[in-house]
Amino acid sequence: MLLRKVSDYLSLIKFSHTIFALPFAAIGFLAGAQSVDFEFERWLVVHVLLCMIFARSAAMAFNRWADRHIDSLNERTKVREIPAGIIESQYALSFALLNCGLFVATTWFINQLCFYLSPVALAVILGYSYTKRFTPYSHLVLGVGLSLAPIGSYLAVTGQFALLPVLFSVAVVTWVGGFDIIYSLQDEEFDKKNRLYSIPSEFGSSRALAISAVMHVITSLVLLAAYFWGSLGWIYLAGWGIFTGLLIFQHTLVKPGDLSRVNAAFFTTNGVASVLFSIAFAADLFIPL
- Domain map (residue ranges) of the chain: 7-286
**Contact in structure between 177 and 215 (CB atoms under 8 Å):** yes
Kindly report the number of other CB atoms within 10 A of residue 219's CB atom.
24
Confidence at 178, pLDDT banded by 50, 70, 90: very high
Supply the pLDDT for residue 259. Answer: 81
Q: Which amino acid is at 281?
A: F
Reply yes or no on whether the pLDDT at 196 is more than 90.
yes
Chain centroid to CA 105 = 22
Start-to-end CA distance of the chain, whole Å, equals 53
Supply the pLDDT for residue 83. Answer: 93
Residue 195 CA neighbour count, 13 Å, CB half: 1
Supply the DSSP symbol for 258. B
Supply the pLDDT for residue 257. Answer: 81
- Rounded distance, CA 289 to CA 283, Å? 10
Span 168-195, mean pLDDT? 95
Span 51-79, mean pLDDT? 94
Chain centroid to CA 282 = 20
What mean pLDDT value characterizes the chain?
92
Architecture of domain 7-286: Orthogonal Bundle (1.10)
**Contact in structure between 165 and 154 (CB atoms under 8 Å):** yes
**Contact in structure between 200 and 181 (CB atoms under 8 Å):** yes
Reply yes or no on whether the pLDDT at 2 is more than 80.
no
Q: Which residue has the higher pLDDT, 273 or 21?
A: 273
Supply the pLDDT for residue 286. Answer: 85
Supply the pLDDT for residue 17. Answer: 66
SS3 255: strand
Supply the pLDDT for residue 16. Answer: 61
Supply the pLDDT for residue 289. Answer: 65
Span 205-225, mean pLDDT? 97
SS3 65: helix
Chain centroid to CA 109 = 24
The radius of gyration computed from the CA coordinates of the chain, to the nearest angstrom, equals 19
Span 13-34, mean pLDDT? 84
> What pTM was computed for the model?
0.94
- Rounded distance, CA 275 to CA 289, Å? 22
Confidence at 78, pLDDT banded by 50, 70, 90: very high
- Rounded distance, CA 151 to CA 165, Å? 5
- Rounded distance, CA 163 to CA 14, Å? 31
Residue whose C-alpha is closest to residue 246's, from 272, 267, 264: 272
Confidence at 24, pLDDT banded by 50, 70, 90: very high
Q: CA quadruple 70, 71, 73, 75: dihedral positive or negative?
A: positive
Reply yes or no on whether the pLDDT at 239 is more than 90.
yes
Span 177-188, mean pLDDT? 94
SS3 279: helix
- Rounded distance, CA 175 to CA 273, Å? 11
**Contact in structure between 48 and 21 (CB atoms under 8 Å):** no
Reply yes or no on whether the pLDDT at 15 is more than 70.
no
Q: Which residue has the higher pLDDT, 259 or 77?
A: 77
- Rounded distance, CA 161 to CA 59, Å? 24
